[in-house]
């Protein structure tokens, strides 16, 4: 076949074409059992696989096995000769009967695998990553999630180099071999799709513990790390045990194998992976101690450990029919881990954090060229769809269904779902049907949330006459690429009317907005009330309200819903910031200052909530609300508002800054104090940079924990003071041998709000500790740089050029990670024509690069609206 890329007139290369959800067909052949043999070595690993296949229905089509970068060394059918051919990278095998044993052998090279998909080497370990389509880089296989098989795995390796040999399921045999080699044989009794296959080999030590299930079964738990990291595994182990208990108590789900292994690896494309009985983690989501991890790191570890553990039911026992259904497991599992974290700490603060992420990442995605529905209709490269929309908006869909059903009915519905689909590959539709049946509700209209992309906007206004309050609602779902003229959605809005005099709630109701225009009447309301709406962020939408600033000030002072109170103060600040940007004036700070003062003084509020509420919205958040973003004006307005708050409330903020907590106090209150003192320090420095620098340096030097240290460094990072360099140098000296912690040093400099950040980032790309081979390091520097609105969008366009160069270079090593750096460039429609043209030019530069992966091709071409 002629390579289409050679001819500019030819259509795009075949591997760059889209796959459609509507084209789904059941497989021609099942694979009932997989027997694998590995002779493991970093340079060359031999893989022999025997698939027990069975014809699905009546047909005479051959068996088609996917391969990626594989060459068959041997192909056999039932131990004898096979009729086979290659079709591109697929292996086609003719089979006569209805069942056969198909054996193939290949040689792979883990140490040359820079994509970190399939079998690869990381810091002397050998490990696998198969989701979504990595198994085909290990052996020929249909590699689709609707084919479930039992697995047996024989591993052979040099014993000195790889003393620990792990795979899914249970170890059934181990022993010695010649020439210093040994073996282990593993069996996984639970049928699973190939994406959940895993093995790990290396010199590892375990934090070993156990858990007794609700039915009294004793489960062995191991967290495998390098020996020196053992002291940093305690928090992850506690989180694992907490998760196991929580899933029993809240969902009635018990763990099913007798063994649960977790391995931490340093080079990993995402956060972690839920392989059956053998979770593999990015080490940043396992390792923590007081000296190196922040409170946010501790929380993220607990959240990711829970997430992967919860996948054992929502993902593994019930898996996905095809990758368009990804949110079936990811949306539901994110929802489950969010609720776990809410139960383990502060419900309101965790909700605020989750909404912050949704708004910072998912709303822009939904509002840009890469917008897609929670259940996408097509993709070029599925890895590009592991997005905030599929994960986080997907979780909001589950949360809305729970709100509509109520918690007890929702539990009955999840029981039905797990019961009905256990051992199956299911669809989002299957999940919704269980909600409908157990809940006795009709979710026909609700299903639009799965198919319609874009963040709905709801305009609300409240009028009062006599004893009736009238709430008028109008919804609009914006056009997104490939989707226009959308239907109204079902939007559950937790709503309250609050007395403007006493702050007492006058009425509370779950408003189900189903029409484009809708009116809700509240009777028996004798005074003109305040409107508190979308409380707890009950729907993932944008509220546009005609409320006065004074109403927001009142809600910020006494709304009895903690989320709504936070929201009122944030909205109040955002309004002043947006007016200041649009009018080129200074933000009006009086009302904000009064509200911040109130919030700080309110003894009923937990410290973390105060910190969240008084934190001035980020530049990105302000930009998101503007039609056309002027990054310099946004930066100036935000800095001015922060300075005004800091100046007016210096004494209160200094008191908050001085009120620390010992580093070993990981209670909600202790964490809250540290969060608040960090925010306070930032506001002080915004108003008085010189005093701020001194205070931050003292804050840094006195710190006995990473939360305080990092908060101080973050404030210093934006200042032009000798204290800044001193602290960064000290940090480097202290942590340069600790790769995970050194990522923070790169990240803080890339996120710095300082005019020379662009030069600093460019220089850091040549730093001896910078490497693109490690995804965490690449994201720390380049990911944070792309997210630094003011710096990245420097009017010269040099930020765009730097990012384009990094994407092209990273793509040669690791397409999945490179593709995730592209989205900031895709936002060009939101910038003035000069910047927009430079952003498009950078995208075109990437597109013109030779041998571009389909991962980056898809992100870039969609960003330019070519695909």
Q: Which residues bind ligand TRP (CB under 6 A)?
A: 129, 131-132, 269-270, 272-274, 307-308, 330, 383, 386
Residue closer to ligand TRP, measured from CB, 383 or 599: 383
Contact 230, 208 (CB under 8 A): no
Residue closer to ligand TRP, measured from CB, 274 or 640: 274
Residue closer to ligand TRP, measured from CB, 129 or 341: 129
The residue whose two tokens read 């750096």 is 821
Residue closer to ligand TRP, measured from CB, 329 or 673: 329
d(CA 511, CA 742): 49
Least CB distance from residue 312 to ligand TRP, whole Å? 12
Least CB distance from residue 675 to ligand TRP, whole Å? 26
Residue closer to ligand TRP, measured from CB, 336 or 494: 336
Residue closer to ligand TRP, measured from CB, 383 or 753: 383
d(CA 432, CA 146): 19
Least CB distance from residue 307 to Zn ion, whole Å? 6
Residue 685: closest CA among 728, 721, 735, 726 = 721
Strand 205-212 to strand 170-176: parallel, antiparallel, or no bridges (unpaired)? unpaired
Instruction: Summarize the chain as % helix, strand, coil (round to 5).
Output: 45, 20, 30
Give DSSP secondary structure letters for 512-539.
EE-SSEEEEEEES--S-PEEEESGGG-S
Q: Structure tokens of 616?
A: 């001035």
Residue closer to ligand TRP, measured from CB, 270 or 410: 270
Least CB distance from residue 270 to Zn ion, whole Å? 9
Query: Which of ligand TRP, Zn ion, none lies near 272, with the C-beta cut-off 5 to 8 A by kind?
Result: ligand TRP
Query: Which of Zn ion, ligand TRP, none lies near 131, with the C-beta cut-off 5 to 8 A by kind?
Result: ligand TRP
Residue closer to Zn ion, measured from CB, 330 or 652: 330
Residue closer to ligand TRP, measured from CB, 436 or 855: 855
Binders of Zn ion: how many residues, by CB under 5 A? 2
Give DSSP secondary structure letters for 242-257.
HHHHHHHHHH-PPP-S
d(CA 781, CA 788): 11
d(CA 471, CA 163): 68
d(CA 405, CA 402): 5
Residue 476: closest CA among 517, 448, 443 = 517
Sign of CA dihedral 308, 310, 313, 319: negative
Least CB distance from residue 101 to ligand TRP, whole Å? 30
Contact 459, 534 (CB under 8 A): no
d(CA 288, CA 301): 8
Which residues, at least 6 apart from 58, have a Cβ–Cβ distance to it below 8 Å? none
The residue whose two tokens read 């026992």 is 317
Q: Which residue is nearest to ligand TRP (CB)?
A: 270
Residue 680: closest CA among 665, 694, 696 = 696
Long-range contacts of 283-288 (CB under 8 A, 24+ apart): 283/225, 283/229, 283/740, 284/740, 284/743, 284/776, 285/236, 286/223, 286/225, 286/232, 286/233, 286/236, 286/262, 287/225, 287/229, 287/232, 287/233, 287/236, 287/740, 288/232, 288/235, 288/236
Residue closer to Zn ion, measured from CB, 271 or 797: 271
- Residue of 37, 131, 152, 308 with catalytic role: 308
d(CA 812, CA 355): 35
Q: Residue 164: in which H helix or E strand, if any?
A: strand 164-167
Query: Which of ligand TRP, Zn ion, none lies near 610, with the C-beta cut-off 5 to 8 A by kind?
Result: none
Please measure the distance between the N-terminal and C-terminal CA atoms of the chain and give it in whole angstroms: 24
Does 173 qualify as catalytic in the annotation? no
Contact 662, 704 (CB under 8 A): yes
Least CB distance from residue 649 to Zn ion, whole Å? 41
Query: Which of ligand TRP, Zn ion, none lies near 269, with the C-beta cut-off 5 to 8 A by kind?
Result: ligand TRP
Helix (H, G, I), strand (E, B) or coil at 589: coil
d(CA 507, CA 563): 18
Query: Which of Zn ion, ligand TRP, none lies near 383, with the C-beta cut-off 5 to 8 A by kind?
Result: ligand TRP
Least CB distance from residue 313 to Zn ion, whole Å? 12
d(CA 366, CA 359): 10
Least CB distance from residue 308 to Zn ion, whole Å? 7
Residue 191: closest CA among 32, 338, 82 = 32
Least CB distance from residue 414 to Zn ion, whole Å? 17
The residue whose two tokens read 């002397």 is 124
Query: Which of ligand TRP, Zn ion, none lies near 792, with the C-beta cut-off 5 to 8 A by kind?
Result: none
Query: Which of ligand TRP, Zn ion, none lies near 838, with the C-beta cut-off 5 to 8 A by kind?
Result: none
Contact 696, 723 (CB under 8 A): yes
Residue 563: closest CA among 347, 259, 814 = 347
Tally of CB atoms within 10 A around 682: 21
The residue whose two tokens read 């459609």 is 20
Give DSSP secondary structure letters for 227-240.
GGGGGG-HHHHHHH
Least CB distance from residue 349 to ligand TRP, whole Å? 23
Query: Which of ligand TRP, Zn ion, none lies near 386, with the C-beta cut-off 5 to 8 A by kind?
Result: ligand TRP
Residue closer to ligand TRP, measured from CB, 222 or 327: 327
Least CB distance from residue 374 to Zn ion, whole Å? 14
d(CA 222, CA 260): 6
Residue closer to Zn ion, measured from CB, 724 or 779: 779
Which alpha helices (DSSP H) does 537-667 contain, by range? 549-558, 562-583, 590-601, 607-614, 619-624, 631-648, 650-658
Residue 857: closest CA among 1, 10, 2, 15 = 15
Least CB distance from residue 397 to Zn ion, whole Å? 15
Least CB distance from residue 128 to Zn ion, whole Å? 17
What mask of x and - would describe binding to Zn ion in positions 322 to 351, judged by CB under 5 A? --------x--x------------------
Residue closer to Zn ion, measured from CB, 308 or 619: 308
Helix (H, G, I), strand (E, B) or coil at 564: helix
Strand partners, 173: 185
Query: Which of Zn ion, ligand TRP, none lies near 687, with the C-beta cut-off 5 to 8 A by kind?
Result: none
Give 263: exposed, middle or buried? Use CB within 10 Å, 0-12, 13-18, 19+.
buried
Q: Which residues are catalytic?
A: 308
Return residues touching Zn ion (CB under 5 A). Answer: 330, 333
């Amino acid at each position: 076949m002629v390579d289409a890329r050679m001819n500019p007139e030819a259509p795009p290369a075949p591997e760059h074409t889209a796959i459609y959800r509507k084209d789904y067909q059941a497989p021609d052949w099942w694979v009932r059992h997989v027997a694998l043999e590995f002779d493991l070595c970093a340079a060359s690993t031999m893989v022999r696989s025997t698939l027990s296949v069975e014809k699905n229905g009546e047909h005479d089509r051959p068996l088609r096995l996917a391969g990626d970068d594989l060459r068959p060394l041997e192909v056999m059918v039932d131990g004898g000769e096979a009729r086979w051919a290659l079709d591109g990278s697929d292996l086609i095998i003719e089979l006569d009967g209805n069942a056969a044993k198909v054996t193939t052998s290949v040689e792979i090279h883990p140490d040359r695998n820079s994509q970190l998909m399939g079998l690869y080497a990381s810091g002397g370990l050998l490990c696998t990553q198969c989701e979504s389509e990595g198994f085909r880089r290990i052996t020929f296989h249909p590699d689709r999630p609707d084919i479930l098989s039992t697995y047996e795995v024989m591993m052979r390796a040099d014993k000195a180099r790889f003393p620990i040999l792990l795979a899914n399921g249970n170890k059934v045999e181990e022993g010695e071999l010649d020439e210093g080699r040994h073996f282990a044989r593993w069996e996984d009794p639970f049928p699973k799709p190939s994406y959940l296959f895993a093995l790990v080999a290396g010199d590892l030590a375990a934090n070993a513990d156990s858990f007794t299930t609700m039915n009294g079964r004793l489960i062995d738990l191991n967290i495998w790390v390098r020996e020196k990291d053992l002291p940093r595994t305690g928090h992850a182990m506690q989180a694992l045990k907490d998760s196991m208990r929580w899933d029993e108590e809240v969902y009635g789900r018990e763990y099913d194998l007798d063994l649960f292994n977790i391995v931490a690896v340093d080079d990993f494309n995402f956060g972690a992976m839920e392989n059956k009985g053998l979770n593999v983690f990015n080490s940043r989501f396992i390792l923590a101690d007081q000296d190196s991890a922040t409170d946010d790191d501790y929380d993220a570890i607990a959240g990711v450990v829970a997430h992967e553990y919860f996948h054992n039911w929502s993902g593994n026992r019930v898996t996905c029919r095809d990758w368009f259904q990804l949110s079936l497991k990811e949306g539901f599992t994110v929802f489950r881990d969010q609720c776990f974290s809410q139960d383990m700490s502060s419900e309101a603060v965790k909700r605020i954090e989750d909404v912050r992420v949704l708004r910072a990442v998912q709303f822009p995605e939904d509002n840009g060229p890469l917008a897609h529905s929670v259940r996408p209709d097509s993709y070029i490269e599925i890895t590009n769809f592991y997005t905030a929309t599929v994960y986080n908006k997907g979780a909001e869909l589950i949360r809305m269904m729970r709100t509509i059903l109520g918690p007890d009915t929702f539990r009955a519905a999840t029981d039905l779902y797990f019961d009905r689909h256990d051992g199956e590959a299911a669809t989002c539709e299957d999940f919704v049907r269980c909600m409908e049946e157990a809940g006795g509700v009709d979710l026909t209209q609700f299903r639009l949330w799965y198919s319609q992309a874009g963040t709905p906007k709801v305009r609300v206004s409240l009028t009062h006459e006599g004893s009736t309050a009238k709430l008028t609602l109008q919804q609009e779902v914006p056009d997104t690429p490939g989707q226009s003229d959308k239907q109204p959605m079902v939007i559950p809005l937790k709503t309250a009317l609050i007395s403007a005099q006493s702050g007492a709630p006058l009425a509370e109701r779950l408003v189900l907005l189903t029409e484009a225009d809708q009116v809700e009447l509240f009777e028996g309301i004798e005074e003109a009330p305040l409107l508190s709406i979308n409380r707890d962020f009950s729907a993932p939408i944008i509220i546009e309200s005609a409320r006065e600033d004074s109403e927001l000030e009142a809600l910020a002072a006494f709304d009895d819903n903690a989320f709504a109170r936070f929201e009122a103060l944030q909205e109040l600040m955002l309004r002043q910031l947006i007016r200041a940007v649009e009018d080129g004036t200074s933000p009006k700070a009086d009302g904000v200052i009064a509200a911040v003062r109130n919030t700080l003084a309110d003894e009923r509020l937990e410290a973390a909530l105060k910190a969240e509420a008084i934190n001035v919205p980020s530049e990105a958040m302000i930009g998101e609300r503007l039609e056309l973003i002027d990054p310099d004006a946004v930066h100036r307005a935000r800095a001015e508002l922060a300075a005004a708050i800091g100046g007016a409330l210096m004494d209160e903020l200094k008191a908050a800054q001085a009120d620390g907590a010992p580093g070993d106090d990981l209670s909600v209150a202790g964490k809250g104090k540290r969060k608040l003192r960090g925010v306070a320090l930032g506001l002080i420095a915004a108003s008085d940079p010189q005093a701020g620098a001194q205070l931050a340096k003292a804050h840094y030097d006195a710190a006995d924990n990473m939360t305080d240290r990092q908060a101080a460094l973050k404030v210093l990072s934006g200042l032009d003071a000798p204290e800044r360099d001193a602290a960064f140098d000290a940090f480097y000296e202290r942590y340069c041998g600790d790769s995970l912690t050194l990522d923070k040093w790169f990240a803080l400099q890339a996120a710095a709000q300082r005019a020379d950040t662009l030069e600093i980032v460019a220089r850091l790309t040549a730093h001896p500790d910078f490497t693109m081979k490690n995804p965490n390091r690449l994201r720390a520097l380049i990911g944070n740089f792309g997210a630094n609105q003011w710096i990245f969008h420097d009017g010269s366009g040099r930020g765009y050029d730097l990012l384009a160069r990094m994407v092209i270079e990273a793509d040669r090593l690791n397409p999945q990670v490179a593709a995730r750096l592209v989205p900031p460039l895709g936002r060009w429609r939101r910038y003035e024509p000069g910047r927009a043209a430079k952003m498009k030019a950078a995208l075109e530069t990437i597109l013109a690069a030779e041998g571009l992966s389909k991962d980056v091709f898809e992100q870039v071409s969609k960003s330019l609206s070519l695909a």
